[in-house]
Every structure is written in structure tokens, then in C-alpha cells.
Amino acid sequence: MREKILNFFSDIYKEMQKVTWQKQDELIESTRVVLVTCLIFTIIVWVIDIIVTEILKVIY
């Protein structure tokens, strides 16, 4: 059992050595893209909500 656990963590370490991490500039740019995309979708959903609410007010 101990050997399996050690092998597991050894494998994790080996895999983490293969990872290529983003540079800080790339990370900042990716974060900006995600934030702007979230903002755009939020605005779209907000506008749709307002429209549907007004339609329902007219109907009821």
C-alpha cells in the first residue's frame, strides 16, 4: 500500500514536470478575455431579462 502511494506521488511529480506554464503576459491577456466575455454575456442576459419582463407585464 505504501509503495502505491509513493508511486502515485512520484507520477504526479513527473507529470507536473511536463506542464508548460503560461507566461505572466499570456495569463493577464487570457484573464482579460475571460472577464470581457463574462461582461458581454452578463449584459446580453440582462437585456433579455428586461425584454421578457416587459413582455410579461403587457401580457398579464
The whole-number pLDDT of residue 60 equals 87
- Return d(Cα 60, Cα 52) in angstroms, integer: 12
Domain limits, the chain: 21-60
Dihedral (C-alpha) 30, 32, 37, 43: value to the nearest 10 degrees?
170
**Do 30 and 22 meet the contact criterion of CB atoms below 8 Å apart?**
yes
User: Whole-model pTM?
Assistant: 0.65
Euclidean distance between CA atoms 42 and 38, whole angstroms: 6
Are 28 and 20 a contacting pair, CB within 8 Å? no
Task: Return averaged pLDDT per consecutive 10 residues of the chain, 60 residues in all.
Answer: 94 95 96 98 98 96
